[in-house]
Amino acid sequence: MSMDLSISRFWRKKEIIYKLNGAKCKSCGKVHYPPKNACPYCGSRDLEYIELPRKGKLISYTTIYAIPEGARSQSPIYFGLIDLGITKITAELTDITDPSILKKDMEVEATLRKTQEDRDAGLIYYVLKFRPVLVQK
Amino acid sequence: MVNPKAGIHGWGAYIPIYRLPLSDIAKVWGWHPDQYKGLAVEEKAIAGSDEDALTMGYEAAYNAIQRAKIEPKKIGAIFFGTESKPYAVKPSATIIGEALGITPYTMASDLEFACRAASEGMRSLIGMAASGLIDYGLAIGSDTAQANPGDVLEFTAASGAAAFVIGKTNNAVAIIEDSVTFVTDTPDFWRRSSQPYPLHGEGFTGEPAYFYHIENAVKTLLERTGLKPSDFDYAIFHQPNGKFPVKVGQDLGFNMDQMKDGLVTPMIGNTYNASALMGLARVLDKAKAGQKILLAPFGSGAGSDAYLITVTDEVENRKHLAPMVDDYLNRKILINYATYARSRSIIHVIK
């Protein structure tokens, strides 16, 4: 998700944000996230929402030090490119104090966290972030 | 008297990854190095800067639903018990319900009774499930416990969550056979609505509040059911520190063998609404069919519940469907006071 949040934009996209709902193209079968109006692979507008897997593998990450005002207490933010098998997504990584553990193919899983808050009195925005898996199978 | 019965269908817990050694608190605030030793707690679990009672409650509830093996839409009531809700007005229960796929046809509310609000939710759900008003209900206890920096409460105020799916007795992992609640007006601990940190009425904390209410609830349950302490395999009490639950258990006639598996506070501190309930989650991680559990949560202000719970053989089929309490206990990163102060907003930042 973009970090440009507003109350109405967040409310419209809550299904996508809370449940990791991606779009599957009924024409070419490919999955993308976040859902667009047309399939980015074949252009078809015949799409259906599906819940994406909650576990995946880290492909790469970047560290962000220029933090939006409502997330300063979370600095730095680690942003990951994650392979969920049926598609790849970008998402915030969490529970990281030592970025040297962030290796390619590291298993990660989704959990609900705060991404930003509108100062002390405003809305709190919750999203699914990814953390190193708790239980190795 | 009618005694409606209900069952626990799923259980789940959550403990944040961060731990603050109590020795660090003693150093920063100039306490005597042995000040906290009598509490029988060495480290406390601390929610990260992107966590709050709602996010922790979400994960515990997710785990409980995984174990219950039900469609989230079958849940007809969400009771979120906490004393550290992120919004004073705006239910956390609807946000958790939406994120878990339970909304819109469900009751949803945040309950407050210091550390036993979630237990009040459990008692309500017993009646609602037994009467057929709902198929399943979700009770969540979650807290990022607050304490005034430098106050003795700071040694134990910790973060964690536990959740239970309650339904009818058939196919449940455990049957709630009976329960009792005992409450009075007692000034042991409170937080005024505009205040960030609670205060405690020193002389009331122990005997008039914690011990009086738990002992009365448990003794009434024992009389009503005709059971003796030795009939139980496990006994779990609210755990404001590592010492009180052991003393109240021994005073009531229980031994350490019955209490040790349900004692979580010595490892992570007092998780308030999750305190006794996390003990129950850990016991269910280990329990076997036919075993009997006594559960006695407590909340300041003050009140206690006592539950008689019997484990069924279904428990074995559910244990591995979600992480166990010990998985969360074993996963930890030690932090210092400065990191704790930042993540729990103890450093005041002008926004």
pTM for the structure as a whole: 0.97
Residue B71 appears among annotated catalytic residues: no
Q: Could you read off the pLDDT of B83-123 as tens digits, one per residue?
A: 999 999 999 999 999 999 999 999 999 999 999 999 999 99
Whether residue B323 is contained in a domain is answered as no
Alpha-carbon distance of B62 to B50, in angstroms, equals: 18
Instruction: Determine how many CB atoms are found less than 10 A away from the CB of residue B130.
Output: 19
Q: Same domain, yes or no, for B300 and B183?
A: yes
Q: Which residues pair with A22 in a beta bridge?
A: A50
Domain of B200, in residue numbers = 178-315
Q: Same domain, yes or no, for B121 and B219?
A: no
Whether residue B147 is contained in a domain is answered as yes
All structural domains of chain A with their residue ranges: 7-20+53-132
Q: Same domain, yes or no, for B189 and B264?
A: yes
The yes-or-no verdict on residue B144 having pLDDT over 60 is: yes
Q: Which residues pair with B141 in a beta bridge?
A: B81, B162
Q: Could you read off the pLDDT of B282-292 as tens digits, one per residue?
A: 999 999 999 99
CA-wise closest residue to A31 among A85, A79, A82, A108: A85
Q: Same domain, yes or no, for B141 and B12?
A: yes
Question: Tell me, what's the pLDDT at A3?
Answer: 52
The yes-or-no verdict on residue A137 having pLDDT over 80 is: no
Residues of chain A found within 8 Å of residue B60, distances taken between Cβ atoms: none
Q: What is the DSSP letter of A75?
A: P
Closest-CA distance, B308 to chain A, in angstroms, reads 31
The catalytic residue among B43, B51, B83, B154 is: B83
Residues of chain A found within 8 Å of residue B351, distances taken between Cβ atoms: 69, 119-120
Whether residue B100 is contained in a domain is answered as yes
Alpha-carbon distance of B34 to B36, in angstroms, equals: 6
Q: Same domain, yes or no, for B23 and B166?
A: yes
Question: Tell me, what's the pLDDT at A97?
Answer: 93
Residue B320 appears among annotated catalytic residues: no
Alpha-carbon distance of B268 to B274, in angstroms, equals: 11
Q: What is the DSSP letter of A52?
A: P
CATH number at residue B207: 3.40.47.10
Residues of chain A found within 8 Å of residue B54, distances taken between Cβ atoms: 112, 126
Q: What is the DSSP letter of B12?
A: E
Q: Could you read off the pLDDT of A74-88 as tens digits, one per residue?
A: 999 999 999 999 999
Read off the tokens for B272: 């308030």
Question: Tell me, what's the pLDDT at A1?
Answer: 44
Question: Tell me, what's the pLDDT at B348?
Answer: 84
Q: Same domain, yes or no, for B147 and B225?
A: no
Question: Tell me, what's the pLDDT at B285?
Answer: 98
E strands present in chain B: 6-14, 18-21, 43-46, 75-81, 107-111, 136-144, 159-167, 174-183, 189-190, 199-200, 234-237, 292-296, 298-299, 303-311, 333-334
Q: Place A4 in a pLDDT band, splitting at 50, 70 and 90.
A: low
Q: Same domain, yes or no, for B212 and B167?
A: no
